[in-house]
Amino acid sequence: MAESFKITDYDCIGFDLDNTICEYRIAPMIQMIYQVITEYLINNFNYSSDHLRKPVDYDFLQKGLILDIERGNILKLNSNGQIVKASHGTRFMHDHEIISTYGPQRKWSVTDSFVENFMNTWNGPLSKKIRPLLDYFDMPISLVFARCIDSVDDQGPPNTYDVWPHVFNGLHNMYSRENFATNVGDYFYKLKNSPSLYYNKCPDYVFDWLKELKKRKKVFLISGSHVDYATFSASHSLGPNWRDLFDISVFFAKKPGFFSDQRQFYNTEALAETNVTNEISFGNVYSQGNWNQLHNLLKKETGKSNPKCLYVGDNILQDVIAPQRFSGLDTIAVVEEMKMDCKDKKYCPDTNMLKPNKWSSYFIDADNSETSIWSSFIINHGKLCVPSIKDLASKSIDYEYQTFSKLKKYGGFFPYIPHSLHKFLKL
C-alpha cells in the first residue's frame, strides 16, 4: 500500500530562492550572523561582551525554536502545542519550572494561538509576545536572545524583559533591503566581499533539471529577498543566466502576505523597485505583488481555468503552510535536517550543524514521545519533504515518489526517513 507523487502532475511549479534553490554554507553563515548582531548589541545597547562574545554554542541552535519575549524564555513545542523543553536565557528549565510557568498542561495561550493559525501571532499585539525562529537566517537569534537575557539577569531579573526590541533592531540593521546597495551594516558587506565563503554553487545537474522542467511546465520564482540581493544570490548559485530558468520572477514578496493579501506588483529596473504596475507578464522580474494576480497570469499562459500549481520552499510557515492554506497550492518542504542520513560529506558538509542537540531533534520532541510542531505542520500542509532541491534534481522530472503506508498515521510525507525518526517510528 503506497501513494505516489509526481512533479509532472502539475502545470506550474514555483520555487523559493534562499535555502531552497540557493543553498548557503550554514556554519560560516551562522558564525557571521551571530558576530554581526552581537557586536551591534554590545555597541548600541551595552549588553555584556563577556556573554555575547563567547564562542558560538552550535549545540544550542535549532531551527524552529520559539521566543517567549516577555519572560526571556526559549521554547520547543510538540505536535500538540505542548512546551516539551524550555530554557531561560541559556539555562535549561527543569520540568517543575516549566509547569509552574505555563501550567500543568505545559500550554501557553499565545503558542496555542500560533498553532491554531500562525497569522494570529504574525502581526498585532501577540507578535510582541512571541517570535518563531523559522530558518537559518533566524537560527542564531536563539543564542543571541538567550545570552542577552543572561546579561540582563546579571543585573537582577526584571518582571518583564525588554530585550527583543533591541535584538529586532539588530535584525533590521542586518537585513533591511536598502542595506545591500548602501553597504550599511556588515551583513551584506561581508557576503559581497566573500561570496564563496557563504554560498554553495548549484551543481550543473540542478541547472539542467530546471531547464528541462521549464521546457514542459510553467516555472516561477517567488522570493522574500529584495531584487538586488536576490540577483546577487541567484548569480552566485545558478550563474549569470539564472533568469532563463524561470518564466517570471517575483522578489521582496513579503511572504506569507503574498499568498493572503492583495499587494500591488512593482516593476524593477537596474536592480531597484520602480513604479506600480497593473499588468504582469512572462519574461520579467517584479517586486512585491500577490498570488491572485500571478495565478491569473498562469491561467492565461496555460490556457487552463484552474491550473494545478506546486510551490517548493524551506520556510515552513511562509513556503509550506501559507501557500497551501491561503491559496490552495500544493507544497514541497525542503528541510536540510533530513541530511543527517547523508553519507557524502561533500554533498552535505553541514550535517554536524543539523544533528539532534541540546533540544533533541528538529523532527521529534525532547523525550521522543511525539513529533515536533514542525513535523506536524509539514504532515498537515506539505505533499513531500526532501533534504534539498538536489534530491529532486538527481531524479528525472517524471520520477514517481512513493509515500509509504507505514507512515500513514504521520502523514506519509517522507520519501526518506530522517535518522532521528527511525527509532520513533520503530523502523
Mean pLDDT of the chain: 91
Burial class (CB in 10 A: 0-12, 13-18, 19+), 246: buried
Reference 331, options 292, 290, 383; nearest CA is 383
Could you tell me if 388 and 15 are in contact, meaning their C-beta atoms sit under 8 angstroms apart? no
The domains located in the chain, with CATH, are 1-22+202-427 (3.40.50.1000), 26-192 (no CATH)
Query: Is pLDDT above 80 for 417?
Result: no
Alpha-carbon distance 65 to 43, whole Å? 26
Query: Span 196-206, mean pLDDT?
Result: 95
| Cell numbers given for 200 | 554553495
Q: What is the pLDDT of residue 339?
A: 73
SS3 of residue 255 by DSSP: coil
Alpha-carbon distance 180 to 214, whole Å? 30
Reduced to 3 DSSP states, what percent helix, strand and coil does the chain have, rounded to the nearest 5? Answer: 45, 20, 40
Confidence bin at 380 (pLDDT 50/70/90): confident
SS3 of residue 97 by DSSP: helix
Question: CA 212 → CA 8, 69, 200, distances in Å?
Answer: 11, 47, 22
Average the pLDDT over each of 36-45, 112-121, 136-145, 398-407 and give the range with the smallest value: 398-407
| Cell numbers given for 156 | 537582577
Could you tell me if 74 and 167 are in contact, meaning their C-beta atoms sit under 8 angstroms apart? no
Q: What is the pLDDT of residue 416?
A: 54
Alpha-carbon distance 230 to 174, whole Å? 15
Alpha-carbon distance 342 to 347, whole Å? 8
Alpha-carbon distance 23 to 388, whole Å? 9
Confidence bin at 401 (pLDDT 50/70/90): confident
Instruction: Give all strands (DSSP E) within 172-304, no chain letters.
Output: 199-200, 218-222, 248-251, 265-269, 272-277, 285-288
SS3 of residue 151 by DSSP: helix
Q: What is the pLDDT of residue 418?
A: 58
SS3 of residue 414 by DSSP: coil
87 Cβ contact partners less than 8 Å away, ≥ 6 residues apart: 73, 74, 93, 146
390 Cβ contact partners less than 8 Å away, ≥ 6 residues apart: 203, 205, 206, 347
Query: Span 50-58, mean pLDDT?
Result: 97
Alpha-carbon distance 251 to 289, whole Å? 9
252/385: higher pLDDT: 252
Could you tell me if 409 and 79 are in contact, meaning their C-beta atoms sit under 8 angstroms apart? no
Cis status of the peptide bond prior to 55, with omega within 30 of 0: no
Backbone angles phi, psi at 175, to 5 degrees: -105, -5
- Give the torsion through C-alpha atoms of 337, 341, 198, 39, to 10 deg: 50
